[in-house]
Structure 1
């Protein structure tokens, strides 16, 4: 991994933080900065020039959020964020999108984001798609990870579909060797989950057979989070391969 890596992340909800990859990146002496979209004034348009210079970012990580990528009327900064993402990706730079982040990358590149037939919340099984080309990011055949979403992305044009399950077909994709988009939440730790659970309003919007109860979520052992955290660390190393020195 490149020494003194400059990592920037886009944060959409207060308190979400960086999840499991923060200590991993700090071990590699990364300089971490953030754009907190949730803190922007609602009555003042966001100028794209207020965001970081693309040249100053070695790795972009786009976090999750409760809003829809389609809700530009209520969150006008979404349009500017997508423009910046397109600008960044056009330079072939490394990026990882987590849940809403994966949807934002897909949507910025012209793919639709729509409501999934079922909501997913909790630990679910995901499987690697069959016949993925050998040079692609390597996933376990099956693994359990945290989910927290109502919507889903279409696979962007030119991307490779990597993972799926029976509830939501598009769980992960890859663009080139520098972009990975996740529908699930590999970054979640017990501490991050606790912050999510403190938002009672958000929980009220979830129901159905693939939604676990608050009690079930709070009783999850720490070991249930490890596989997702490992996959995210490996994903970071993968998208950074060509920029390593």
Structure 2
């Protein structure tokens, strides 16, 4: 399987998604469209991973629109897609749904609650890393997958091959450090989780997050 990853900022990488790919001996390619403008084709993509970033799907940038063309083709071909944060928003936007300000800005660690039994083996509650102030509308044709205390629309499952999460299960501890030290002003500005960059680092990554990330990827690629 060829996994194509769209990364949108240097400090939000694939984390445990790369570990999953290596554990299954998949080919793993990382694209940086915000810098180089290159995207894979649909025909050379078996799984598309769309990562987070500081931009919005509403931004009027050619490469953001080109990403949605690729996502549309993969949706039509029923290929697996996983989106995190901005990536989940891009999937929803491709399907014609609105992206707008969330009722609360969440930056840091907070619980998320599993909302459907469609994917077996997912705990009812997990602690995820949040790094966002926008959110997606859950597509009518999708199931609500996760919610948090502050923002209901935290994840969706579309069919059996597409998952979008508003938060992050993929970061490993080095990824958390990278996010916190480079984007260190973002948690300090009107953050409804009231966590500092150092507090975010000190929290550590729950072991369950990598396990659940693997389960989600296993589910959409089965």
Report the TM-score range of the alignment, normalised by the length of the smaller protein.
over 0.9
What residue number does 1:238 align with?
A: 219
How far did 1:207 drift? 2.1
**Aligned partner of 1:137 among 105, 114, 119:** 119
Report the number of matched residues.
221
Deviation by residue 1:42-67 (Cα, 9 ceiling, x = unmatched)? xxxx6xxx532212111111100011
Q: How does 1:103-182 map to 2 (within 5 A)?
A: 103-129=89-115, 132=116, 134=117, 136-138=118-120, 139-182=122-165
How far did 1:24 drift? 2.1
Q: Which protein is bigger by CA-based radius of gyration?
A: 1
CA contact (8 A) 1:145 1:227 kept: no
Deviation by residue 1:149-202 (Cα, 9 ceiling, x = unmatched)? 110100013011111122110111011100011011000111001111222465
CA contact (8 A) 2:33 2:39 kept: no
Runs ≥4 in structure 1, deviation > 6 angstroms?
A: none
CA contact (8 A) 2:108 2:187 kept: no
CA contact (8 A) 1:120 1:150 kept: yes
Comparing 158-167 with 198-207, greater Cα deviation is found at: 198-207
Q: What is the TM-score normalised by the length of structure 2?
A: 0.93
CA contact (8 A) 1:9 1:62 kept: yes
| Cα distance in structure 2, aligned partners of 1:173 and 1:128 | 10
CA-atom RMSD in angstroms: 1.7
| Cα distance in structure 2, aligned partners of 1:25 and 1:204 | 30
Q: How does 1:222-233 map to 2 (within 5 A)?
A: 224-233=205-214
Please, which runs of 5 or more residues in structure 1 have no aligned partner?
41-45
Q: What is the TM-score normalised by the length of structure 1?
A: 0.85
